[in-house]
Amino acid sequence: MKTLKADPGAKRLIESLRNMGYDSSTAIADLVDNSITANASEIYVDILLPKGSTPAAIIIADNGDGMDREELHEAMRFGSNQEYSAGDLGKYGLGLKTASLGQCRTLTVASKAKPKRGSRPRRVYMRWDLDHVYKTDGWDLLIPSDDELQSWENEILNHLVAQDHGTIVLWTNLQETLPLLSDLDIRKQEKFLAHLIDEVSSHLRMVFHRFMQGTVTGRRKLDIHVCGEKLVPWDPFCREEKTKELDIMRLPLVCEDTDGLKVKDTITITPFILPREDEFSSTATWRDASGPRNWNQQQGFYFYRNNRLLQAGGWSRLRAVDEHTKLLRIAVDFTSNLDRAFSINITKMRSRIPPEIREEIANHVGGWAKKARERYDNAPSRSSVSSNKSSHVSIPAHKNTEQTVHKPREIRLGSVTISSNEKLGTIAVSENRKGEIIISIPRNHEFHEIFSIQNENDLRSAYVVMLLLIEAVAKKKVRVSNIPLELLKKIYRQNI
Ligand SMILES: Nc1ncnc2c1ncn2[C@@H]1O[C@H](COP(=O)(O)OP(=O)(O)OP(=O)(O)O)[C@@H](O)[C@H]1O
Ligand SMILES: [Mg+2]
């Protein structure tokens, strides 16, 4: 049969791919997928505000295997060819381009491949520039030379020189999707930046928590840093707390792969009943466990594809969100062999329960929900639970009785909550989506004395210490690990 070439129009196809439904967090997560597949152990996400002649920019850098010229050329092609190994996170050969160009108009990728057999690879750059594509309506990649890069671009991409191998993805021309990053009002810029950092961080610490915890077989433990802050993984099932794990269910399923071949694989379903508020080790951990969308919306199914979380919570139309079952979270694990059954699309943002196993799961969900409800209903009566919701400075009453010693205690100072963590460990400072700052102090720490303060003057001094601590973290002057603890302890001792 005769054939005719019918190449797609670059301008219109790219424009439609830009609207796949990514937001900044999900787009960055798509690039983190690529870094993980390339065996990275460190990923740095940086969001730069404009400064002088340097525009706003977002950078995602990794220490993965990197790419040489041919590999990068193929990687930049829409629908790039790639052989995937078991456990790899890619599928369509599109994520790098569509996720990025949904957020920016200029995507520059610089990479340096791992040396192979005595070769010393150089860093290579390639760029998709939408203004150029739209002018020519062609699929022309730009290959800037060192001289054609702006000095600030060189400065960013030069980080690869010192590295043995790795990849840097640079997004610029962000005005369309992230105009507030370049707002003329500096305060607006900074407020938006703080909000963006919060969103991106809570998304990444959730989606990649297993990789960050180092529990994925065959993968290196992953550290992700967002604007200088190392993220702490967010485990939806709070396995460090008194979570109950119910019986695991395994369901075999046959499904067609992309070549139409039948593959058989197993879906693993693990229900967890999380502790009630009064059973958590501290108020801070309970709040952190509530997750980005809060307790009620975070109940339900957690779909993991090759250990990467696709969807966090929701009942896939099997039941309705209910306050009484909010302690029930269910991990559903499958491999990329079953992508078609779970309806995985390019964005890998959501998933559905395959129709073949829907009824079987539905039969079990009722029983799991009943158990979750029993735990919820067993809560001590409201009056016996400390519920200090006041926004004033207030100290819970101290009774020197045995029973009160192990109860969670907290001090609320406006939007700052300093809570006592009955476990041993280090001080944790975190900020939730509502902008509340939570400082959790383990009982073995010297600062834990703050919980025995009896009058407000002393408390004010302690507040100063805590403010210093918060300020240091918030202004990104120091990393949490770099806080001058000795200095703070000195001030603390002088004041109390
Ligand atoms: N950070 C990186 N390090 C090394 N190689 C990378 C990196 N990012 C992308 N690549 C290469 O570029 C290819 C294309 O990436 P892209 O995200 O567009 O598609 P994919 O990951 O194969 O599939 P999907 O569309 O599902 O994301 C990858 O298959 C990989 O070979
Ligand atoms: Mg990808």
Say whether pLDDT at 110 is over 50.
yes
- Probe target for ligand 1 pocket from 22, 34, 92, with the most ligand atoms within 8 Å of CB: 34
Ligand nearest to the CA of 346: 1
What is the reported pLDDT for 390?
32
Alpha helices in 163-229 (DSSP H): 186-207, 209-213
Residue owning the nearest CA to atom 12 of ligand 1 = 75
For the four alpha carbons of 441, 283, 303 and 312, in that order, the dihedral sign comes to negative
* CATH fold label, 244-382: Ribosomal Protein S5; domain 2 (3.30.230)
pLDDT tens-digit series, residues 375-406: 999 877 644 444 433 333 333 333 333 333 33
Q: How far is CA 182 from CA 101, 151, 176, in A?
A: 18, 20, 11
The rounded Å distance from CA 81 to ligand 1 centre is: 9
Atom nearest to 60 CA in ligand 1: 1
Mean pLDDT of 413-433: 71
Q: How far is CA 391 from CA 102, 287, 436, 437, in A?
A: 41, 16, 11, 13
Residue owning the nearest CA to atom 6 of ligand 1 = 34
pLDDT tens-digit series, residues 130-179: 999 999 999 999 999 989 999 999 989 888 777 889 999 999 999 999 99
Class of domain 10-230: alpha beta
- What six digits make up the tokens of 338? 């079953």
The rounded Å distance from CA 91 to ligand 1 centre is: 9
Mean pLDDT of 80-107: 92
**Residue 91: count of CB within 10 angstroms of its CB:** 18
Mean pLDDT of 47-51: 95
Ligand 1 interacting residues, C-beta cut-off 6 A: 30, 34-35, 38, 62, 64-67, 75, 80, 82, 90-97, 167, 346
Say whether pLDDT at 340 is over 60.
yes
Confidence of residue 194 (pLDDT cuts 50, 70, 90): very high
What is the reported pLDDT for 476?
67
Question: Do the beta carbons of residue 200 and residue 226 sit within 8 Å?
Answer: yes
Say whether pLDDT at 469 is over 80.
no
Say whether pLDDT at 99 is over 60.
yes
Rg (CA), the chain: 25
Residue owning the nearest CA to atom 29 of ligand 1 = 82
Residue owning the nearest CA to atom 31 of ligand 1 = 75
Say whether pLDDT at 483 is over 70.
no
- Probe target for ligand 1 pocket from 14, 17, 37, with the most ligand atoms within 8 Å of CB: 37
Ranges for all domains in the chain classified under CATH 3.30.230: 244-382
What is the reported pLDDT for 438?
74
What is the reported pLDDT for 400?
34
